Structure 1
Amino acid sequence: MTYRVCFVCTGNICRSPMAESVFRAHVARAGLDDRVEVDSAGTGGWHEGAGADPRTVAVLEDGGYDSNHTARQFRASWFSRLDLVIALDHGHLRELRRLAPTEEDARKVRLLRSYDPAAGDDLDVPDPYYGGIDGFEGCLEMVEAASTGLLAAVREHVEGRAA
């Protein structure tokens, strides 16, 4: 059975495609790519059909990650097929929990940085869209730092299902 994770930010052109690409690479390196599906979406549909922001693409490629992406909007109906919905900030967390059809679905929503013990109380990944490339680089650092803990949690679920 496939374990499905979806990363969600505002427009699905900066943070969530970055998190998707980084986490997909972690999943592949762990040998779990046949059991874990990774994708992303935005809370809004302004950029549907567009590629990732060029600064996201540049930072991902510099980091050795895949940058192929097409933006889309998250739909409440997706909760039934997802195991984990990862919000990039508290605003997304609130919006996704509001969209969740059931309490069980609302419990599937978590903040990405909650998987990074070094994050402390600062659990938002700031939106780099209105700034320069340094904001995108900082975003990548936060995503990479949280991906190790997220992978450990997902591995626990995947291996628990196989048992």
Structure 2
Amino acid sequence: MVSVLFVCLGNICRSPMAEATFRAKVEDENLSEAIEVDSAGTGDWHVGKKPHEGTLAILRENNIKSDDLIARQFHGEDKKYDYIVAMDASNERNMKKILDSEHHGKVFKLLDLMDESREKEVPDPYYTGNFQEVYDLVESGCSRLLNKIKKDNQLKEGNTYGK
């Protein structure tokens, strides 16, 4: 199984939005048996809480399930994930401080996959209030990520990688 972890600061806005959006894309391509998806935050302020209402609202508007999203903190054991996707450079740096250097290659920013994008970091809607902008960036980035994972792991629709 291929595993993906999305990480932002508090795990209530960007990373759970990315987790739910990516999971929906994985399900749409019948790859749920091949790809595991989770999210975490580098901070501990919101551990155990549901996502921000703005995140939940944008997911509802786009018919994306969000029932099982609960904030948790990123920790060293998260090195087990194959793809560790940061929403911004600050969280990317914070994760690399926690992970052994041998796992740094798994960590990258979501928008690194979008060369044509002027944005290089997913802005935090907790501060900006612009959940639509964040959703648009996350949706595009998740599409690119899924294509990358399918190519990297030779996955096709309905593939049961590793089973």
TM-score where L is the length of structure 2: 0.90
Q: Are the counterparts in 2 of residues 42 and 73 from structure 1 also a CA contact under 8 Å? A: yes
State the distance in 2 between where 1:22 and 1:13 align. Answer: 14
Deviation of 1:115 (Å):
1.6
Structure 1 residue runs of 4 or more that deviate by more than 6 Å after TM superposition: none
1:109 corresponds to = 107
Which structure 2 residues correspond to residues 110-125 of structure 1 after superposition, within 5 A? 110-120=108-118, 122-125=119-122
State the distance in 1 between where 2:110 and 2:89 align. Answer: 10
1:78 corresponds to = 78
State the distance in 2 between where 1:111 and 1:55 align. Answer: 22
Residues 1:129 and 2:132 aligned together: no
State the distance in 2 between where 1:123 and 1:147 align. Answer: 14
Deviates more, 1:44-53 or 1:149-158: 149-158
Which structure 2 residues correspond to residues 23-102 of structure 1 after superposition, within 5 A? 23-68=22-67, 69-79=69-79, 81-102=80-101
Q: Sequence identity, in percent?
A: 37
State the distance in 2 between where 1:117 and 1:25 align. Answer: 24
TM-score where L is the length of structure 1: 0.90
Consecutive unaligned residues in structure 1, runs of 5 or more: none
**How far does the alpha carbon of each residue in 1:103-134 deviate from its partner, in whole angstroms, 9 at most, with x for none?**
2x1000010011223314x31000010233xx
SS at 1:66 equivalent: coil
Q: Number of aligned pairs?
A: 156
State the distance in 1 between where 2:4 and 2:72 align. Answer: 15
Consecutive unaligned residues in structure 2, runs of 5 or more: 156-160
Amino acid at match of 1:87: A
Q: Are the counterparts in 2 of residues 8 and 86 from structure 1 also a CA contact under 8 Å? A: yes
State the distance in 2 between where 1:27 and 1:52 align. Answer: 21
- Which one has more relative contact order, counting CA pairs under 8 Å at least 6 apart? 2
